[in-house]
Amino acid sequence: MATVVPPRPVAIAAAAFGLGVTAGMRSQIPLALLAFRVHRAAVDNSLAPPLHLLRRRGVVIGLGLSAVGEVVGDKLPVVPSRLRPGPLAGRLGFGGVAGGVLARGAGNSAWLGGALGALGALSGSLAGYTARAQAHRVTGQPDSLFAVLEDGIALTVGLLALSRWPTVDDSASSRDSGRTIRP
């Protein structure tokens, strides 16, 4: 049976903020990445709530489809600016939820993780919008080109935030009867 070894609080804070930055660029990607990562790494039901809910296949598929839908939809001209109150509040909410779920699942404060995720989402929203608008203005290239580039950046930031979360540590099997999941 696997056990979960809690990560250091600083690592959780950095991951929560990183997922928030990702949410600022693409709001649906952080929870999809977190669900996929937990689903792939979890070998038993030892994950703390609410991370254990993300292991469900239907949840992983639903969040993945939502992320793909957002990536496609972002290229449409009818999509409002992410800095308008409604879309910005949604990004802050998704960043906060992703950060809170991650932190709580690691046995840390969901409130702190949520606050860091929301702060990261605000940062990601402002930076993504500014960089994309400036790149379009300076180069004259179509905005959709920079939207695709931003998709890649959002995915990369999210993957980096979760790069050590959770992984299976097989070296622990020599000490006990199972594997250890290291977030």
Quick check: is 123 in a domain?
yes
Number of domains the chain is built from: 1
What's the pLDDT at 180?
Answer: 44
Cβ-contact 148, 48 below 8 angstroms = no
Cβ-contact 28, 66 below 8 angstroms = yes
Give the Cβ contact number of residue 31 at 10 Å: 26
Quick check: is 181 in a domain?
no
Q: What is the pTM for the complete model shown?
A: 0.86
Quick check: is 75 in a domain?
yes
- What's the CA gap between 27 and 89, in Å, rounded? 10
What's the pLDDT at 170?
Answer: 36
Nearest to 50 by CA among 121, 2, 98: 98
The stretches in the chain having pLDDT less than 70 are 1-7, 42-47, 166-183
Quick check: is 183 in a domain?
no
What's the pLDDT at 38?
Answer: 86
Please report the sign of the dihedral spanned by the C-alpha atoms of residue 163, residue 74, residue 120, residue 137: positive
What's the pLDDT at 42?
Answer: 58
Quick check: is 82 in a domain?
yes
What's the pLDDT at 17?
Answer: 98
What's the pLDDT at 174?
Answer: 35
Nearest to 23 by CA among 119, 145, 142, 146: 119
- What's the CA gap between 183 and 168, in Å, rounded? 9
Quick check: is 44 in a domain?
yes
What's the pLDDT at 171?
Answer: 40
Half-sphere exposure of 64 (CA within 13 A, CB side): 12
Quick check: is 139 in a domain?
yes
Quick check: is 180 in a domain?
no
Give the residue numbers spanning the domain of 120: 3-175
